[in-house]
């Protein structure tokens, strides 16, 4: 039987860079000790206080169908959070609660792209981006950023790619690069969006993980309110990856259409999860800081270790739970280096090539193991790179 092109061409074969990840997984399942620095997931679990609230809500009976747009309380709580963080007037009518940020990304593209429209995204990119755009029926067109620009997007490149485009997807703080887009970058990107009449889909799921600089939501920039859809999530800010709770913030008329889409796709998010999310958000910065603290610490450890050597380059590690390391002096590409590192030292990292072409010759290191093992792994990576480069 024939299957749709939409589903069979979703991933277009993907990148070979994922081979390292699967090899590491296999080694672990065979009982080998592998230092796992591939995955973007906290090494702590959801806080017991959030779980207690989840259980209480479920026991109180919130296990049936929940309101499709999200409970009024959660929509209001998310709106208040966004208003506090950005200064932009936001009400519950601006918010749709979704099963995670990923579902919000898909819904946003369905909302603004017709089949055959072009959706732009930036390389390097979070693994699901091109498939998400294609899944919405649009044509995914990539715009390169470069290590030389510290992976800050350039407005002229976006402009040059924007023929036929209806949307641009950006992500700051960025996975995989750890870069936070500057105000100057975002203002230039916003200017292109206005001039080229593009929707801006702004993935801000790492908005609590900022180590250097300031997170600016482009929805708050002049004349961007009506053309920006912000993607948010409880996954990274509250270590609730498995709870599948996120949101889209946008103009009320767009949200209305997206609620209609949700009625015909996800049918909402469980009520007990939403109650737990309200509890977690109301717990305020103290809880958020507790969750981000290990990454802030490890990033500082990494800066010190990298400053003491001169082979491996560090892309400015301004936010998110990753480091992007430039290993080009070794003469290997990211994939070659990651494979050799796994074979020689049983350390698993992601090759830059698994996130597109722009980060070739780099590796992404997730800061998701305890401090001592993390520091030891990073020292080993630096020594290994130095050996390879001196042997050239």
Ligand X SMILES: Cc1ncc(COP(=O)(O)O)c(C=O)c1O
Question: Measured from the CB of residue 150, what is the shortest distance to ligand X in angstroms?
Answer: 18
Torsion of CA 121, 126, 127, 129, to 10 degrees: -30
Determine contact, residues 137/114, Cβ cutoff 8 Å: yes
Q: Which is nearer to ligand X, 332 or 365 (CB)?
A: 365
Closest CA to 141 of 124, 126, 161: 161
Question: Measured from the CB of residue 269, what is the shortest distance to ligand X in angstroms?
Answer: 11
Residue 218: partners with Cβ closer than 8 Å, 6 or more residues away: 170, 186, 189, 190, 200, 202, 224, 228
Question: Measured from the CB of residue 108, what is the shortest distance to ligand X in angstroms?
Answer: 11
Q: Please give the residue ranges that form the binding site for ligand X (CB under 6 A).
A: 40, 100-102, 126, 171, 175, 203, 205, 233, 235, 241, 246
| DSSP letter string, 57-92 | HHHTTTTSPPPTT--HHHHHHHHHHHHHHH-----G
Question: Measured from the CB of residue 245, what is the shortest distance to ligand X in angstroms?
Answer: 8
Q: Which is nearer to ligand X, 81 or 328 (CB)?
A: 81
Q: How many CB atoms lie within 10 A of CB 60?
A: 11
Q: Which is nearer to ligand X, 330 or 354 (CB)?
A: 354
Determine contact, residues 277/350, Cβ cutoff 8 Å: no
Determine contact, residues 213/359, Cβ cutoff 8 Å: no
Question: Measured from the CB of residue 128, what is the shortest distance to ligand X in angstroms?
Answer: 7
Q: Which is nearer to ligand X, 94 or 171 (CB)?
A: 171
Q: Which is nearer to ligand X, 126 or 374 (CB)?
A: 126
């Amino acid at each position: 039987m024939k299957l749709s092109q939409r589903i069979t061409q979703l991933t277009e074969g993907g990148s070979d860079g994922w081979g390292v990840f699967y090899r590491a997984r296999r080694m672990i399942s065979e009982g080998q000790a592998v230092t796992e620095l591939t995955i973007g997931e906290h090494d702590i679990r959801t806080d017991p206080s959030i779980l207690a609230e989840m259980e209480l809500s479920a026991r109180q009976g919130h296990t049936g169908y929940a309101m499709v747009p999200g409970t009024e309380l959660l929509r209001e709580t998310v709106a208040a959070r966004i208003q506090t963080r950005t200064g932009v007037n936001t009400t519950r009518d601006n918010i749709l609660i979704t099963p995670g940020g990923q579902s919000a990304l898909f819904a946003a593209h369905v909302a603004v792209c017709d089949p055959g429209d072009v959706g732009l995204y930036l390389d390097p990119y979070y693994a699901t981006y091109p498939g998400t755009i294609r899944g919405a029926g649009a044509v995914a067109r990539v715009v390169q950023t470069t290590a030389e620009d510290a992976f800050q997007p350039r407005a002229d490149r976006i402009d040059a790619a924007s023929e036929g485009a209806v949307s641009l997807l950006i992500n700051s703080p960025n996975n995989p690069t750890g870069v936070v887009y500057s105000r100057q970058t975002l203002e230039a990107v916003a200017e292109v969006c206005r001039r080229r009449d593009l929707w801006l889909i702004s993935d801000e799921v790492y908005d609590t993980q900022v180590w250097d600089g300031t997170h600016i939501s482009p929805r708050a920039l002049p004349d961007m309110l009506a053309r920006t859809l912000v993607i948010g999530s409880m996954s990274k800010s509250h270590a609730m990856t498995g709870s599948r709770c996120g949101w889209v913030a946008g103009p009320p008329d767009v949200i209305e259409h997206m609620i209609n889409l949700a009625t015909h796709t996800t049918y909402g998010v469980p009520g007990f999860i939403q109650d737990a999310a309200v509890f977690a958000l109301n717990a305020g910065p103290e809880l958020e800081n507790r969750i981000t603290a290990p990454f802030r610490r490890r990033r500082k450890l990494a800066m010190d270790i990298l400053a003491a050597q001169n082979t491996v380059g560090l892309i400015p590690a301004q936010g998110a739970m990753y480091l992007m390391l430039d290993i080009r002096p070794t003469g290997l590409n990211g994939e070659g280096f990651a494979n050799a590192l796994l074979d020689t030292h049983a350390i698993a990292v992601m090759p830059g090539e698994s996130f597109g072409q722009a980060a070739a010759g780099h590796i992404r290191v997730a800061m998701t193991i305890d401090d001592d093992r993390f520091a030891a792994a990073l020292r080993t990576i630096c020594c290994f790179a130095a050996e390879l480069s001196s042997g050239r």
